[in-house]
Amino acid sequence: MKLILLGPPGAGKGTQAKMLTERFRIPQISTGDILRGAVKEGTPMGVKAKSYMDAGGLVPDEVVVGIVRERLQKDDCATGFILDGFPRTVGQADALKGTLQDLDKDLDAVLALEVDAEALVERLTGRRTCRECGQGFHVKFDPPAEEGKCDSCGGDLIQRDDDQESTIRKRLHVYDEQTAPLIAYYGEGGLLTCIDGMQEIGSVQEKLLSALQAS
């Protein structure tokens, strides 16, 4: 199963990808997670990416395209993968097409999660992430058993720097300008299914699974 999860920041891509990786035993490839890891480690790529991320903009295409190209060649992607947060521009989508051709792989599906702008802001301002294992929560929609602590590993839950409302608005604008055109891009290829992402997490999961069965 080789798929792309499309959708604006806060649509639930990461939440759904985690569930799909467990079900299909294929890796989640989140460019956001990889970039945050590089920022944390202070690698040259992380240093370059940080200013774009802090400002709510996109990291240049050549950086993320290189990350994904390298990642897709790892052994664990042999039977499939879930791309979460990539591609985000038409340039990235074109580069992905080339990479997949080179690797002799075909996409099975592109699933786009649709969520209203105000709901996205509420989801992102309430998002919390485990500092240790990266598991995601929401203070209202997916709260941990103990406030501020991760259910899986007991680590502290933190708020991402870019989940402040002013940066969120900028990220949503960038999505509309640069990423939303990918809906038409993949629509033309016949691989796209749009999913109503406004329902609770479990219902969205069911819709994704039915779309995958149909694809």
Catalytic residue (choose from 48, 160, 169, 170): 160
Q: Answer yes or no whether residue 204 interacts with ligand ADP by CB under 6 A.
A: yes
Least distance in angstroms from the C-beta of 166 to ligand AMP: 13
**123 vs 195, beta carbon nearer ligand AMP:** 123
Site for ligand AMP in 71-130 (CB under 6 A): 85-86, 88, 92
Binding characters for ligand ADP, 80-119, by CB under 6 A (x = yes)? ----------------------------------------
Stretch of 29-37, 71-79, 103-111, 180-188 lying at the interface with ligand AMP (CB under 6 A): 29-37
CA atoms of 3 and 124, how far apart (whole Å):
24
CA atoms of 167 and 53, how far apart (whole Å):
9
Binding characters for ligand AMP, 41-70, by CB under 6 A (x = yes)? -----------xx--xxxx----x------
174, 162 Cβ separation under 8 angstroms: no
> Which residues have CB under 8 Å from 100's CB, separation 6+?
2, 72, 106, 107
Q: How far is CA 6 from CA 12, 113, 179, in A?
A: 10, 6, 9
Least distance in angstroms from the C-beta of 168 to ligand AMP: 10
Catalytic residue flag (residue 36) = no
Backbone angles phi, psi at 119, to 5 degrees: -65, -35
The SS3 call for residue 139 is coil
Backbone angles phi, psi at 5, to 5 degrees: -100, 115
Q: What is the distance, to the nearest Å, from the Cα of residue 182 to the centroid of all Cα atoms in its chain?
A: 14
* Residues of the shown chain interacting with ligand AMP in the complex, contacts defined by CB under 6 A: 9, 31-32, 35, 52-53, 56-59, 64, 85-86, 88, 92, 162, 171
Residues carrying an active site annotation = 13, 88, 127, 160, 171
